[in-house]
Structure 1
Amino acid sequence: MIGIKTMTEVLEKIKSIIKDSKTFALLSKKNSEDCRLLAKEALKSALSKNNLEVILLAEEVNFQKKWGDLLSETKESLSPRKTSIRIPKNQYKIKELSYEDGNEFLSLLVTTENKELDKNAIILEPVLPKADAVFCFFEPSEIETLREFAKEIEFPPKEKIIFLAENGTTFAEKITHIIKAIFPAALSLQSVSTLLFASLITETNNFIRPVSQEVLRFGSEILSLGADKELVKKIINEEKTISSAQLLGRALARTQIDETFGASWTFLSQKDLEKTRNSNSSSQFFYNIVKNLRENIPSGPISLLFWQAPSENIRRNSDFLPERLETEFLTKQANQNVFALAAAEEEKILLPLAAVLGMKLQSKYFISGPFDNFSEAELRFRNAFKEIFSIKI
């Protein structure tokens, strides 16, 4: 497995891997940040334009909806899926295989010489698409994430698995280095340069976050290649509504800094969401609130957002309900449910808290709940912090 630390140290290795590969898988975690997904789309576009096959897995619905105008040239259906139909040769002597294409069904016809085929003897097995090389847009330590993807694709040898981990270089820069070294002509394609520019803008929050002169020069370089700045601006500005600004104002007013635990605590009631006309309950929506809070307050290492929403709204719109709590949630009688989102600048900061709460990280955040009320949610997190601090030396 290759962890990309210094790009110049691994580019030759990546060039060799791509040269020897025909089929690629580009993997990202559920609810990954837009900057990672946009960089992944740019690499996918460059590979596809060079007649290399990219295994397409299910994409984030909210991401596709938000960036649809940008993805029009890279959108495709999922990769074809194969299924193996196995018949035991020691039981049946197969004479002929054929099929009939009817109006409603495709019928497979198996002619046997010794006896009629028993349906219980047939074994149906999915044949996983095989990747010659894999790009992982997450940390090498995400073993559980790799195991989940192993159910969807057949992985190559570990030396052909490339991790694009966080190391101070933006994802747009990393992918640009790779494309420039292998498919330089692809950078002149507006679809590719625009995806890279969008990735850079989202990762730096339109350069509001502190960036180096090198990153600023890189942004200018991408624009000079033909990136559609106005299209990216249009997509991002669609989220900047009066409703979202009003909700951010309420969130700022309801935020407290707890220096003991190095965390900020924000509470939004159902009325806050209703009065500001915000009905979105996706994980990315609430994560964006936290990101904006962190840009406006001297937040600690961890930011916590607690919000209250009607059960029906969560059932209809949310994409984060933990599977292990789904049954419990659906049988709740309360009209309101409280959820909590914990976020940090680096995933490793959240790992101890997530472990104590028994939660799985989703990029730089995780969501916990449902809780019956704010008090229960707050107490659960305070006890988790106390447990972490009690074992520290």
Structure 2
Amino acid sequence: MEKVIIPGLAVMALLTTSCNKKENTVIPATSEQKIPYSSLSSSTSYFSKFVDDNGNSTVDFSGQTTRTMMFSEIDAYIKTGTTGTLSAVKLKNMFENKNNPFSDASLNSATDKVISAKTAQSFSATNADAERQVFLGYFAELERISALNGQTAEQGKAGLLGGKRLVDEKGFEYAQFIQKGLMGAMMLDQICNVYLGDDEQSADNTITVEGKNYTALEHHWDEAYGYLKKNEVYPMKDPADATKYLESYLGGYVRQVTAAAGGDPEGIFLAFLKGRAAIVNKDMATRDEQIAYLRTNLEKAVATVAVSYMNKTMAESDPASRFHELSEGTGFVYALRFAHNAKINRVKSDELLNILRGKKDGFWSLTNADLENVRNQIADAFGIDKNVEVNH
């Protein structure tokens, strides 16, 4: 997991406080000084900028931190499939937080925090269940092929490819389908469609939630931020190693789409800051502008990463490297269906996935012409440079 840089014990306390949506009794709010937008910059601390009259931070996204920790444990467990046999039941329990599946006892006790419930949440009940079944199917495949990790994978034969990549008979690396898929199905969906969506953004912004020092609307905005990252600024370098950054999962990939690749990670952070300040300022027009910016640019960043992976795959000839890059890219093609603007919607995403995974021999018989087809359709939909590559 990434490190958390926290400017004070008050913030430490709020990040470890559980988010309980049942606490909706409210008390009169204390007044907050309005925040000039000109005071916001890429170095502004998200934690210390938004405070109550007593100087206490009003930011709390502990629930998102907890779910990201659960995600990390799922990810770590899946990686053990190269040396041991995975259990689909255990993975399902981790996905649904049942039967104490986590090594961290605090995650087991967080019974109201469930990844499956936050997966494809913005979809209709039928479609959301279908997306959750996709992950359950991946878990079953991982159990099956992890039992074959003692053999070398080849066309039509599951096992380890390059000595370290667990793939099925078609070369599919399910670890990457799951990791990148959940970045879309949980993180991107929760940010753009749930917490920045009409229902959550219609919450009260006049009085504080009972027992808290933030309004419901402030809290919902912070929860969106918490799914992208959990540090006070974005992107944030590791103070112990300036060549590294502290972001992980969705936030880590969005950070990699720099201005040279048509992205704007600092602009995304500023939009989160400005939107939160606008809520404090009771300026809903400015808040709405930031929502539109975030939805557009987060979706474009994911699309750019998908295009980049297609390009990197085409440059690889070694099957282990080629299929690893392609599995990551395939996961991001799936993730695009969860973007708010849905330029690559569920139907289109399935169409592209069928090009990538629909051949009898899967990745083994996939050609660069197939990859160019998928790449070009995504790039054209977003106006992305077809040859873009980012530093994954």
Tell me the TM-score range normalised by the shorter chain.
under 0.3
Q: Give the structure with higher Rg (CA).
A: 1
TM-score norm. by structure 2 comes to 0.26
Structure having greater relative contact order (Cα 8 Å, sep ≥ 6): 2
- Identify, as 1 or 2, the structure richer in strand: 1
More helix by share: 2
TM-score, normalised to structure 1, is 0.26
